[in-house]
Amino acid sequence: MATNVVDVMVLGAGIVGISSAIHLQRQGFATTLVDRRGAGEETSFGNAGIIQREGVHPYMFPSGFCKLIAYALNRRIDARYHVGSLARIAPFLWRYWRASNSATVRQTLQANLPLFAECLEAHAELACAARSETLIAKHGWIRLIRNARALAETEREISELKELGLDACLVGGKELRELEPDIDASAFEAAVHHRQPWTVSDPGALVKSYASLFVEEGGRIVQGDALKLGRSGGYWRLATAVCAIASPQIVVALGPWSMDFLKQHGVRLPMGIKRGYHCHFRPANGAVLHRPVVDEAYGYVLAPMTRGMRITSGIEFAALDAPRTPVQIEQLIPRAREIFPLAESLDAQPWMGMRPVFPDMLPVIGKLSGAPATWVNFGHGHHGFTLGPATGKLLAQLVAGAPSFCDPEPYRPARFGKVGH
């Protein structure tokens, strides 16, 4: 079998890998994208589809004694842990808890600003070229607030967002009814309308349209297992069922599976997993939702999608290979039914996805010192769908040695100390 020699192999065809591959190709690198499945069929398929322009504040470990006890007893719906995984996830939880201090929160917020500032334009650039803009709506999303205490916290967050030049608007019951007549506004104290973010009616289809764009622009997508990659003669090499590929350098964008690959090559990074589930329902009685709503007290999103009303759950800390435990989504469905008319379920069983996260809630973007000719772009946590196109652009600028649109220093993998061997 003849070997195709390319400039860069990108591992993983989720939103992050595809966006990186497009920008590498645009920087003049002959790029091949490798995935064991089709493009955009894992985490990038099943998310809530919000391009969260306002999402600059990191989700840190909860504070407050009562909340901590409730989390420790696994009694919360918004976040829980997989009991059987506890021994394996404890080191990550410890690092996450330690990183959840005000200094790290400030640093992460600052590091988030330039990436989130780029997120809408970076999506627009790809969606326009891919002719898939019709999948994107620009009506924002709504955060629903159930009690006065949460309202006070939210008011503080709104003023912080405003100081950062971000738009967020507190709305009362009357305005909520005007925006979303089919939501039962009586259950809520107030709501916040985040007007800048965009939302997507089929995240998997948007990612697939970006994959087609990559091919149109001269890139190649190959099905293959990244875990079979080897290195010899100064090249990374992969033999697939249809071809052999060699490249002097690789980009690891395997999302939640990135550490499976890197551990094989002696690299250690403190990544954790926050799992989430989704399921779809047919709206009852012709009810319509114009934009996603987030019922913050229970940590779920109700999002209008092409397939139906998608409910996505909050956080389940678990090991990568732990058995599915869709407890949260089962508890959420009656809550969602209380606020919006839902008919029958459209899925045989809930979908499960995994958010790859680092203790400081920032991704790793840059060159690895612990492995040869290896770049990384993963660990986008709650915001990979938002940030994939922006971090793909940044990564490609770094590989090309071109001026980058922001300082890459905060995302360096070496911020966690020595990463390899």
Ligand X SMILES: Cc1cc2nc3c(=O)[nH]c(=O)nc-3n(C[C@H](O)[C@H](O)[C@H](O)COP(=O)(O)OP(=O)(O)OC[C@H]3O[C@@H](n4cnc5c(N)ncnc54)[C@H](O)[C@@H]3O)c2cc1C
Contact residues for ligand X (CB under 6 A)? 11-17, 34-37, 41-44, 47-50, 52, 225-227, 253-257, 276, 278, 312, 353, 355, 378, 380-386
Query: From the CB of 294, what's the least distance to ligand X, in Å?
Result: 9
Of the pair 256, 326, the CB lying nearest ligand X is at 256
Query: From the CB of 380, what's the least distance to ligand X, in Å?
Result: 4
Of the pair 41, 155, the CB lying nearest ligand X is at 41
Alpha helices in 100-230 (DSSP H): 102-129, 148-163, 173-179, 203-216
Query: From the CB of 33, what's the least distance to ligand X, in Å?
Result: 10
In 248-339, DSSP assigns E strands to: 249-252, 272-283, 293-295, 300-304, 309-312, 315-317
Tabulate helix, strand, coil % of the chain (nearest 5).
Answer: 40, 25, 35
Contact 280, 345 (CB under 8 A): yes
Query: From the CB of 152, what's the least distance to ligand X, in Å?
Result: 26
Alpha helices in 78-101 (DSSP H): 86-99
- 130 vs 215: CA distance, rounded Å: 11
Of the pair 190, 226, the CB lying nearest ligand X is at 226
Query: Between β-strands 249-252 and 374-378, what pairing exists: parallel, antiparallel or unpaired?
Result: parallel
Q: Please work out, in degrees rounded to the nearest 5, the angle formed at the alpha carbon of residue 273 by the alpha carbons of 270 and 331.
A: 155
Of the pair 42, 125, the CB lying nearest ligand X is at 42
Terminal-to-terminal C-alpha distance of the chain: 33
Query: From the CB of 225, what's the least distance to ligand X, in Å?
Result: 5
Query: From the CB of 43, what's the least distance to ligand X, in Å?
Result: 3
Of the pair 14, 140, the CB lying nearest ligand X is at 14
Residues 6+ apart with CB under 8 A from 417: none
- 366 vs 257: CA distance, rounded Å: 18
Report residue 54 as tokens.
């306002």
Query: From the CB of 278, what's the least distance to ligand X, in Å?
Result: 6
Of the pair 28, 266, the CB lying nearest ligand X is at 266
Of the pair 20, 100, the CB lying nearest ligand X is at 20
